[in-house]
Amino acid sequence: MPELKAIELLMVGRMLPMVGETLERRFTLHRLVDQADPAAFLAAAGPRICGLVSGPTSPVDKALIDRCPTLEIIANFGVGYDNVDAVHAGTRGIVVTNTPDVLTEEVADTALGLMIMTVRELGAAERHLRAGKWPDAPFPLTRASLRDRGVGIVGLGRIGKAIARRVEAFGMPVAYHNRNRLADVGYRYCASLVELAKAVDILMVVTPGGAATRHLIDADVLAALGPNGILINVGRGSVVDEAALISALDAGTILSAGLDVFADEPRVPAALIAHDRVTLLPHVASASQFTRNAMGQLVIDNLTGWFERGEVHTPVPEAMPKQWYL
């Protein structure tokens, strides 16, 4: 077995402490955020770095990857890996891993919570109570209800399917849009997003980010969703054209929105914060100790498995180990 301590890893950005603490005990771990001069550090240590550890707020672009000529693996903390140039990593034979499945149910739970909060204006109702307004007036009846509403899921993958199961249990019809129609589900498939938005009252976005999904939810989709329509986004902020969303909320083109993700996190447009009907969460869909620890353990297992046995649990398709193709 190779001596793991001889292997140098670089953590890009901040991460759950247990990941760094465990990796530090097994490997030689450097943290880019601790370097006084990150560029000088990379120039000196890049040639020795065999593994990168990244998270959604830490971009791993072509330039960073190429600073590390002996890089073997990029282990990303998060199922979404739009922060990593996985295609470039793949062309260099570098394996990229993410953290699917272990967060699916948690994210689906949060998506349902966000949907109910938004539809029934529960955040605003709580603010009404805390502001001491209840003795003067009851909180107004909500314009929307889950009754008589259909849910359209944009991205019926692992998390989308877990959301769909929960929505079904609420007695609400489900439709979906993916690039590919699924053979294993009975939900209505809409080949276009506008068709899906016209067919439902709640649009639930749970696609990956990146160039292929940028601004999928644009002014046309919001217009198709209509004045009773509600947009929920637990995928990536980049999937929604935020300027078009703000205009649609201002104009009453749609009723409201519930957002866990934003285009420029952690910055959230003031125009969204000002909308009382909009429910805003600070990217917390997977953020329980239970689930984040499971994600962290998967990062550790992928790195340890790779350097001990040349095996990983969860490679992404663009950058898989060679033996997976055999």
Residues 116, 118, 119, 121, Cα dihedral to 10°: 100
SS3 of 177, please?
Answer: strand
Give the range of 122-130, 138-146, 278-286, 304-312 binding ligand NAP by CB under 6 A.
278-286
Packing angle of the helix pair 104-119, 158-169 (nearest 10 deg): 50
Answer yes or no whether residue 152 interacts with ligand NAP by CB under 6 A.
no
What the block records as the tokens of 221 is: 């989709």
Residue 220 gets which letter from DSSP?
Answer: H
- For ligand 8YV, the closer CB: 78 or 229: 78
Among 48, 283, 288, 297, the residue binding ligand NAP under the rule CB under 6 A is 283
CA atoms of 17 and 193, how far apart (whole Å): 40
- Residue 155 near ligand 8YV by CB under 6 A: no
Q: Does 207 bind ligand NAP (CB under 6 A)?
A: yes
Say whether 21 is catalytic: no
Task: Enumerate residues 30-59 that contact ligand 8YV by CB under 6 A.
Answer: 55-56
Residues in the interface with ligand NAP (CB under 6 A) total 29
Instruction: Give the sheet arrangement for strand 28-31, strand by strand.
Output: 28-31, 8-11, 49-54, 73-76, 95-97
* Euclidean distance between CA atoms 18 and 37, whole angstroms: 25
How many other CB atoms sit within 10 Å of the CB of residue 324?
Answer: 11
Decide if residue 80 touches ligand NAP (CB under 6 A). yes
Q: Which of residues 292-321 bind ligand NAP (CB under 6 A)?
A: none
Q: Does 281 bind ligand 8YV (CB under 6 A)?
A: no
127 is catalytic: no
Q: Which residues pair with 154 in a beta bridge?
A: 177, 205
Per the annotation, the verdict on 242 as an active-site residue is: no
Residue 314 touches which of ligand NAP, ligand 8YV, none (Cβ within 5-8 Å per kind): none
What distance in Å separates the CA atoms of residue 184 and residue 78, rounded to the nearest whole number?
Answer: 26
Give the nearest distance from C-beta 79 to ligand 8YV in angstroms. 4
Which member of 261, 298, 312, 319 binds ligand NAP (CB under 6 A)?
261
Residue 103 interacts with ligand 8YV (CB under 6 A)?
yes
Distance CA 221, CA 34 (A): 44
313 closest CA partner among 297, 290, 291 = 297
- We find the least distance from the C-beta atom of residue 63 to ligand NAP, in angstroms, to be 23
- The residue annotated as part of the active site, out of 21, 126, 168, 265, is 265
Question: Which residues have a catalytic role annotated?
Answer: 236, 265, 283
Q: Which residues bind ligand NAP (CB under 6 A)?
A: 79-80, 100, 103, 107, 155-160, 177-180, 206-209, 212-213, 234-236, 260-261, 283, 285-286
